[in-house]
Amino acid sequence: MTHFRHAAIVAAVVAGTTTASAQTTIITREPVESRTVVTTEPLELTPVQRRTIYRTIVREQVAPAEPTVEYRVGARVPDSVRLYSVPQEVAVEVPAIRTYKYMVVNNRVVLVDPATSQVVEEVVD
């Protein structure tokens, strides 16, 4: 009878161990998008950099954006607007604008942050 009790206790311990190891832990985390913080420092360009940007991009002869919308620094650009990558020639001369996109509106080059769709700078001749 004592052997039966010991066997029952051992069986219960083994069964408890097996059951415990079969448990699953689920860890949930916040989506990455809700934790993303975008900080934009003001873009400071020298007169020479502005001239380089304007003259090079105007030579690209891209299709102008819709002039009926007012594009100003800080404003969001509609998704329907076609943005262009900064030409390599300009990115080498002015590395600060390498990650931005641009559009041309009323003979102005408008630089846009593609992550936020916000206008960060206007460049005129």
Mean pLDDT confidence for 89-116: 91
Q: Give me the sign of the Cα torsion angle 40, 35, 98, 125.
A: negative
pLDDT in tens, 39-48: 456 788 889 9
* Alpha helices (runs of H) in 22-125, residue ranges in sequence order: 32-35, 47-60, 88-93
Distance CA 26, CA 11 (A): 29
13 φ/ψ angles, rounded to the nearest 5 degrees: -65, -45
pLDDT in tens, 56-98: 888 887 877 877 778 889 989 988 889 999 999 989 999 999 9
Q: Which CATH architecture has domain 38-123?
A: Roll (3.10)
Q: How would residue 35 be classed by pLDDT, with cut points 50, 70 and 90?
A: very low
What does the domain layout of the chain look like in residue ranges? 38-123
Q: In what order do the strands lie in the sheet with 108-113?
A: 84-85, 101-105, 108-113, 118-123
**112 - beta bridge partners?**
101, 119
